[in-house]
């Protein structure tokens, strides 16, 4: 989950990292009050969870109130990489002497958190990584020990820092590492970490938190709500697991393993699932019904493939859920099913009576689903 800049900066501030003084606004007119408090010039920054806002025109400098209002209006009318701008962070502009880069991320190949730093930060960091990779210093961190002060200092020296800047760099690096651990982050990044008149300041701050760890951080609930699609909210309400993808063969399985295997088989026969949908253990008809209705409503879904291996989950409950969903929804879509396990006979009977084709093997059902999807598309 990506935090917005202002959310990440609130965390940075708590950990003692210097950030620009700033005020979040939700309407362009509010920029005046912000200026009264902050003074001029200000930097206006669109709050969207994407990298490269600057290049997309999402960061604007304003020297007087008229210019600030005009630019705030421009920003609020923008959409950046698919995200409409709903809030803008107004910050007191800093006098930049030099832009550095500092981040912590996971180096999966080496199973280490890695610190990346460069003396040439700013908006061209991707180009730098490609054209001059040696300008980015990499420091793998020993998990048992954490980031050592002298290591952070060494990196600081390598990117050309000394004196007070170096001392501050060490402190900021240690704080960012602590944030990374405390928040179960996948990325903590400051670009630029700027050398200004008042020392090092994190002009930009980004954080990505591991989705699987969000339950450990109830204070991030608001950010999580924002990222969920309407469909994902329905899934949470009914207690199934749902991930949106971009194919056209809707999948419903029980258990993460079987659901993933179902997706693999569909892929194997040349199809593409638009979702991962695991109804979980012991699903009753209401949950199944909600799941089926969700896929019926998804315009991308051309056919639904239900693959159930009943254990605690009763095949009969699943079948009833499917049939009720079909009855209650006006949208009609072909469904294929493979249902085995507990209450199999009863389940099959219910589906047969509703005219839903049944398959004994997952392969056969997958092939049929792929065939139908192609037929519907043609
Ligand atoms: P990003 O493009 O989404 O990474 O947005 P940033 O927050 O990094 O801002 C992009 C660029 O705007 C930075 O690299 C800076 O050059 C510039 N910038 C941001 N804040 C300030 C500021 O307070 N003063 C000045 N002069 N430039 C700024
Ligand atoms: Mn940036």
184-208 residue pLDDT tens: 999 999 999 999 999 999 999 999 9
Domain count for the chain, please give it. Answer: 3
Asked if pLDDT for residue 246 goes beyond 90, the answer is no
Measured in whole angstroms, the distance separating CA 147 from the mean position of its chain's CA atoms is: 26
Instruction: Please report the pLDDT score of residue 343 as a whole number.
Output: 92
Asked if 373 and 329 sit in the same domain, the reply is yes
- 43 vs 244: CA distance, rounded Å: 36
Asked if 167 and 126 sit in the same domain, the reply is yes
Q: How far apart are the CA of 201 and the centre of ligand 1, in A?
A: 11
In this structure, the residue with its CA closest to atom 20 of ligand 1 is 203
Q: How far apart are the CA of 347 and the centre of ligand 1, in A?
A: 60
Q: Which range (103-107, 157-161, 272-276) has the least confidence? A: 272-276
> Could you give the C-alpha distances from 361 to 238, 307, 321, 365, in angstroms and in order?
28, 10, 21, 6
Residues 6+ apart with CB under 8 A from 298: 231, 250, 274, 275
Question: pLDDT confidence of 310, banded at 50, 70, 90?
Answer: confident
What are the phi and psi torsion angles at 231 (to 5°)?
-60, -45
Kindly give the residue spans of alpha helices, DSSP state H, lying in 239-342.
256-268, 285-297, 315-328
Asked if pLDDT for residue 82 goes beyond 90, the answer is no
Model pTM?
0.78
Q: Tell me which residue of 292, 313, 316 sits closest to 304, measured CA to CA.
A: 292
Which atom of ligand 1 is closest in space to residue 45's alpha carbon? 7
Q: Tell me which residue of 279, 356, 275 sits closest to 312, measured CA to CA.
A: 279
CATH code, domain with 302: 3.40.50.261
- Find tokens 């800093």 and name the residue: 94
In this structure, the residue with its CA closest to atom 11 of ligand 1 is 54
Q: How far apart are the CA of 157 and the centre of ligand 2, in A?
A: 22
> Does the CB atom of residue 2 touch ligand 1 within 6 A?
no
- The per-residue pLDDT of the chain, averaged, comes to 94
Asked if 214 and 251 sit in the same domain, the reply is no
In this structure, the residue with its CA closest to atom 2 of ligand 1 is 54
Which atom of ligand 1 is closest in space to residue 92's alpha carbon? 23
Question: pLDDT confidence of 4, banded at 50, 70, 90?
Answer: very high
In this structure, the residue with its CA closest to atom 3 of ligand 1 is 53
> Does the CB atom of residue 255 touch ligand 1 within 6 A?
no
> Does the CB atom of residue 54 touch ligand 1 within 6 A?
yes
189 is catalytic: yes
Q: Is 150 helix (H, G, I), strand (E, B) or coil?
A: helix
Asked if 53 and 74 sit in the same domain, the reply is yes
Instruction: Please report the pLDDT score of residue 321 as a whole number.
Output: 95
Asked if 267 and 358 sit in the same domain, the reply is yes
> Does the CB atom of residue 122 touch ligand 1 within 6 A?
yes
> Contact 277/242 with Cβ under 8 angstroms?
yes
Q: Tell me which residue of 85, 89, 147 sits closest to 113, measured CA to CA.
A: 147
Question: pLDDT confidence of 228, banded at 50, 70, 90?
Answer: confident
- 255 vs 241: CA distance, rounded Å: 9
Asked if pLDDT for residue 229 goes beyond 90, the answer is no
Asked if 108 and 84 sit in the same domain, the reply is no
Question: pLDDT confidence of 230, banded at 50, 70, 90?
Answer: confident
Q: Which of 96, 190, 200 to mutate to test the pocket of ligand 1 (most atoms within 8 A of CB)?
A: 96
Burial 297-332, CB ≥16 within 10 A → b, else e: ebeebbbbbbbbbbeebbbbbbbbbbbbbbeeeeee
> Does the CB atom of residue 140 touch ligand 1 within 6 A?
no
> Contact 319/350 with Cβ under 8 angstroms?
yes
Q: What is the mean pLDDT of residues 257-283?
A: 93
Asked if 31 and 102 sit in the same domain, the reply is no
- 9 vs 6: CA distance, rounded Å: 5
Instruction: Please report the pLDDT score of residue 236 as a whole number.
Output: 86
> Contact 191/205 with Cβ under 8 angstroms?
no
In this structure, the residue with its CA closest to atom 8 of ligand 1 is 204
- Which range of residues forms the domain containing residue 254? 228-377
- Residue finishing a domain among 207, 224, 241: 224
CATH code, domain with 201: 3.30.470.20
Asked if 7 and 25 sit in the same domain, the reply is no
> Does the CB atom of residue 93 touch ligand 1 within 6 A?
yes
Residues 6+ apart with CB under 8 A from 189: 102, 103, 104, 105, 204, 205, 206, 207
Which ligand has an atom closest to residue 97 CA? 1
101 is catalytic: yes
Asked if 9 and 89 sit in the same domain, the reply is no
Which atom of ligand 1 is closest in space to residue 91's alpha carbon? 23
- Residue finishing a domain among 224, 251, 272: 224
Asked if 354 and 330 sit in the same domain, the reply is yes
What are the phi and psi torsion angles at 317 (to 5°)?
-65, -40
Q: Which of 56, 94, 203 to mutate to test the pocket of ligand 1 (most atoms within 8 A of CB)?
A: 203
Asked if 247 and 365 sit in the same domain, the reply is yes
> Does the CB atom of residue 57 touch ligand 1 within 6 A?
no
Instruction: Please report the pLDDT score of residue 183 as a whole number.
Output: 97
Q: Which of 189, 238, 242, 368 is catalytic?
A: 189
Residues 6+ apart with CB under 8 A from 128: 118, 120, 135, 136
Asked if 239 and 286 sit in the same domain, the reply is yes
125 token code pair: 């960091």
- Residue finishing a domain among 199, 224, 249: 224
> Contact 209/199 with Cβ under 8 angstroms?
no
């Amino acid at each position: 989950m990506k935090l917005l800049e202002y959310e990440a900066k609130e965390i940075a501030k708590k950990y003692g990292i210097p950030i620009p003084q700033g005020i979040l606004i939700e309407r362009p007119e509010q920029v005046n009050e912000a200026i009264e408090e902050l003074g001029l010039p200000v930097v206006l920054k669109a709050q969207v969870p994407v990298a490269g806002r600057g290049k997309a025109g999402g960061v604007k400098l304003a020297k007087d109130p008229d210019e600030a209002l005009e630019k705030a209006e421009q920003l609020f009318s923008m959409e950046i990489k698919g995200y409409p701008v709903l809030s803008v962070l107004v910050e007191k502009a800093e006098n930049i002497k030099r832009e550095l880069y500092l981040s912590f991320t996971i180096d999966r190949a080496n199973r280490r958190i890695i610190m990346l730093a460069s003396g040439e930060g700013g908006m061209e960091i991707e180009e730098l990584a490609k054209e001059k990779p040696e300008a980015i210093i990499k420091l793998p961190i020993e998990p048992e020990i954490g980031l050592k002060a002298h290591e952070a200092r060494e990196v600081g020296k390598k990117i050309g820092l000394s004196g007070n800047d170096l001392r501050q760099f060490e402190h900021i690096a240690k704080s960012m590492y602590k944030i990374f651990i405390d928040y179960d982050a996948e990325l903590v990044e400051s670009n630029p970490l700027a050398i200004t008149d008042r020392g090092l300041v994190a002009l930009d701050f980004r954080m990505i938190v591991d989705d699987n760890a969000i339950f450990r951080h109830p204070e991030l609930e608001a950010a999580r709500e924002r990222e969920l699609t309407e469909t994902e909210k329905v899934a949470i309400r009914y207690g199934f697991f749902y991930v949106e993808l971009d194919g056209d063969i809707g999948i419903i399985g029980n258990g993460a393993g079987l659901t993933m295997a179902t997706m693999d088989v569909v892929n194997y026969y040349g199809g593409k699932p638009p979702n991962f949908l695991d109804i979980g253990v012991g699903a009753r008809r209401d949950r199944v019904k909600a799941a089926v209705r969700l896929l019926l409503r998804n315009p991308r879904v051309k056919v639904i493939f239900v693959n159930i291996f009943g254990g605690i989950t009763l095949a009969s409950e699943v079948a009833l859920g499917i049939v009720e969903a079909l009855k209650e929804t006006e949208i009609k879509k072909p469904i294929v099913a493979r249902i085995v396990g507990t209450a199999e006979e009863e389940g099959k009977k219910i589906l047969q009576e509703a005219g839903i084709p049944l398959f004994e093997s997952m392969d056969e059902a997958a092939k049929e689903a792929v065939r139908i999807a192609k037929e519907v598309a043609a």
